[in-house]
Amino acid sequence: MKLHREGYLIIAIATVIIGVLELGNFYLLKLLGWTWLFVLISLVLLTFYYLVIQFFRVPNITPVFGENDILCPADGKVVVIEETEENEYFKDRRIQVSIFMSPLNVHANFNPISGLIKYVKYHKGLFLVAWHPKSSTDNERSTVVTEHKSGKEVLFRQIAGAVARRICYYVEPGQRVETGSEYGFIKFGSRIDLFLPLDTKINVKIGDVVKGRITKIGELSN
């Protein structure tokens, strides 16, 4: 387990703020004899601090995958599996698989396949709740397309939500990536959409709880 670099500054700021609040809590309540209230507030502050730290955790996982496997790019829950029109890059029909990330999930994002990055684009947008039907097209988001060595392409999109206010990604066109390697991070929430070829074998179903770099979303056909 390690802490993600995107969390260093936030954790440092939280440490200072909570430290000051706890010091004030001690002098205002503990020394005045309000021990029960002092303990209650201390527990609330420690819980909040724990939640901030755990949000930026990244488990040490060694991905295991086959040549055509599509690994899950994020921890979360599968909320959409459907055939739909992808209008930004492919402009044709694809299988969409969407994974919702709650604030308690790991929020690092990982490359679902190995290959060559063909397309990267960031879009400013709204901050609708992540399960809103229009969040995929109207919210702040980033789109990445990777070409597998078979020539097939997979699009995956980070989508901000009502709480998430910053999308981070670390790939660029022309870069070669490995399945399970980190490609981005979403601060405080949201979801990942994958758009897969229609002949992809899907190995998950709606409602499944999935793990980044562990769960096999599907397989590209030969």
Residue 188: inside a domain, yes or no? Answer: yes
Q: What's the confidence (pLDDT) of residue 54?
A: 83
102 and 143 together in one domain: yes
| N residues, the chain | 222
96 and 148 together in one domain: yes
Q: What's the confidence (pLDDT) of residue 27?
A: 81
36 and 116 together in one domain: no
Residue range 100-128, pLDDT digits in tens: 988 888 889 999 999 999 999 999 876 55
Q: What's the confidence (pLDDT) of residue 122?
A: 93
182 and 86 together in one domain: yes
23 and 73 together in one domain: no
75 and 169 together in one domain: yes
19 and 102 together in one domain: no
Point out the residues that are catalytic.
Answer: 190
What residue ranges of the chain have pLDDT lower than 70?
30, 126-138, 161-165, 188-189
Residue 63: inside a domain, yes or no? Answer: no
48 and 73 together in one domain: no
Q: What's the confidence (pLDDT) of residue 136?
A: 61
In angstroms, the CA 143 to CA 107 distance is: 17
Q: What's the confidence (pLDDT) of residue 3?
A: 84
Q: What's the confidence (pLDDT) of residue 6?
A: 83
Q: What's the confidence (pLDDT) of residue 32?
A: 73
Range(s) of the domain holding residue 25: 2-58
In angstroms, the CA 187 to CA 165 distance is: 6
Q: CA dihedral in degrees (36, 37, 39, 43; nearest 10)?
A: 140
Task: State the total domains in the chain.
Answer: 2
In angstroms, the CA 73 to CA 193 distance is: 9
Q: What's the confidence (pLDDT) of residue 189?
A: 63
Q: What's the confidence (pLDDT) of residue 139?
A: 75
In angstroms, the CA 158 to CA 169 distance is: 9
In angstroms, the CA 139 to CA 161 distance is: 7
Residue 135: inside a domain, yes or no? Answer: yes
Q: What's the confidence (pLDDT) of residue 129?
A: 57
Q: What's the confidence (pLDDT) of residue 128?
A: 59
Non-local (6+) Cβ contacts of 14 within 8 A are 48, 49, 52
96 and 202 together in one domain: yes
Q: Return the H-helix or E-strand segment holding 135.
A: helix 135-138
121 and 141 together in one domain: yes
19 and 116 together in one domain: no
Report CA-CA distances (Å) from 153 to 4, 65, 79, 108. Answer: 28, 18, 22, 22
Q: What's the confidence (pLDDT) of residue 15?
A: 94
Residue 64: inside a domain, yes or no? Answer: no
Last residue of a domain, one of 34, 58, 82: 58
Q: What's the confidence (pLDDT) of residue 127?
A: 55
Q: What's the confidence (pLDDT) of residue 98?
A: 95
